[in-house]
């Protein structure tokens, strides 16, 4: 009898451990592999620029993991452009898309994030953070984000207050997952997000809904269409609105 009870208890324990591990809050539901780039201005002002770039992504990942069970994983950190100074985020984004086309994307990363520290005002179009597009499930999630970083960032751990540059990165990544601007002045998705840390309910639902969607990537057949400016059936690249946001 005791033996039978022990067996039942063992089975129940095993089931509990298995189910608990499945619903553990620390288990991310979505992993996003990020290729990080740092431009010349970002590298020149901080000899430990690679650590700074990793820390920025880590801080954003802490937020996404806590709020959406999405973990951002650093795939690589590289200098880019190697030497050239490009003081315009639209020009930087265009160059990024040209040199690392999503159609040629290998399977070892999902998303490219590039940091710049040229110091151009975020009130000017040339200084605004940018993404290539608002993501969605039918056409895929966004592939590129350019984020100017004003001050040298030091990762402070899970309990650190969010730096405004990290909030800018979180805001842009939300666009990658399909979140759009809102008039709600308390939302991090307001165009003037400042130090806001909460995303409004509607955009939270969008991110939750889209978080398992694939990242946009044309296959070889579509690449042929891409040469004529078309990436997918019924979708022209020129119709993919380049997004700009400002503080």
- Which spans of this chain sit near Zn ion (rule: CB under 5 A)? 245
Instruction: Return the number of the residue (152 or 182) whose C-beta is nearest Zn ion.
Output: 182
Q: How far is the CB of 171 from Zn ion (least distance, A)?
A: 5
Shortest Cβ 116–Zn ion spacing (Å): 17
Question: 77 vs 92, which CB is nearer to Zn ion?
Answer: 92
Taking CB positions, which residue lies at the least distance from Zn ion? 245
Residue 67: CB minimum distance to Zn ion, A: 17
Are 44 and 1 a contacting pair, CB within 8 Å? no
CB of 190 to Zn ion, least distance (A): 9
CB of 88 or CB of 245, closer to Zn ion: 245
CA-based torsion, 223, 229, 233, 239: positive or negative? positive
Full DSSP string of 186-237? TSTTBSS-TT-----HHHHHHHHHHTTSPBP---HHHHHHHTTTEEETTEEG
Shortest reach from residue 229's CB to Zn ion, in Å: 25
Nearer to Zn ion by C-beta: 56 or 176?
176
Q: Which CB atom, from 89 or from 245, has the smaller least distance to Zn ion?
A: 245
Closer of 149 and 218 to Zn ion (Cβ): 149
What b/e string do you get for 126-159 counting C-beta neighbours within 10 Å, with b at 16 or more? Answer: bbbbbbbbbbbeebbbbbbbbbbbeeebebeeee
- The answer for residues whose C-beta is within 8 angstroms of residue 32's C-beta and 6 or more apart is 70, 71, 72, 73, 110, 111
Structure token pair of residue 56: 């920025």
Q: Please check whether residue 113 is in contact with residue 77, taking contact to mean a CB–CB distance below 8 angstroms.
A: no
Q: Per DSSP, what are the bridge partners of residue 37?
A: 78, 114
Cβ 143 to Zn ion, closest distance in Å? Answer: 16
């Amino acid at each position: 009898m005791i033996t039978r009870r022990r067996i039942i208890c063992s089975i129940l324990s095993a089931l509990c451990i298995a189910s608990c591990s499945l619903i553990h809050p620390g288990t991310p539901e979505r992993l996003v592999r990020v290729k990080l780039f740092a431009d010349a201005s970002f590298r020149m002002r901080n000899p430990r620029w690679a650590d700074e770039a990793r820390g920025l992504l880590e801080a954003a990942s802490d937020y996404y993991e806590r709020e959406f069970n999405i973990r951002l994983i650093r795939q690589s950190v590289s200098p880019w452009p190697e030497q050239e100074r490009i003081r315009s985020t639209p020009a930087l984004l265009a160059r990024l898309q040209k040199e690392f086309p999503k159609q040629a994307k290998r399977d070892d990363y999902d998303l490219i994030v590039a940091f710049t520290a040229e110091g151009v005002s975020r009130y000017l179009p040339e200084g605004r953070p940018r993404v290539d597009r608002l993501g969605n499930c039918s056409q895929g999630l966004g592939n590129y984000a350019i984020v100017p970083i004003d001050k040298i960032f030091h990762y402070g751990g899970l309990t650190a207050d969010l730096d405004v540059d990290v909030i800018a990165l979180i805001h842009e990544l939300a666009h990658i997952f399909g979140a759009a601007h809102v008039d709600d002045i308390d939302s991090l998705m307001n165009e003037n997000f400042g130090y806001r840390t909460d995303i409004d309910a509607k955009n939270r639902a969008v991110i939750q809904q889209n978080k398992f969607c694939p990242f946009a990537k044309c296959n070889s057949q579509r690449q042929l269409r891409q040469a004529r400016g078309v990436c997918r059936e019924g979708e022209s690249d020129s119709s993919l609105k380049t997004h700009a946001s400002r503080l």
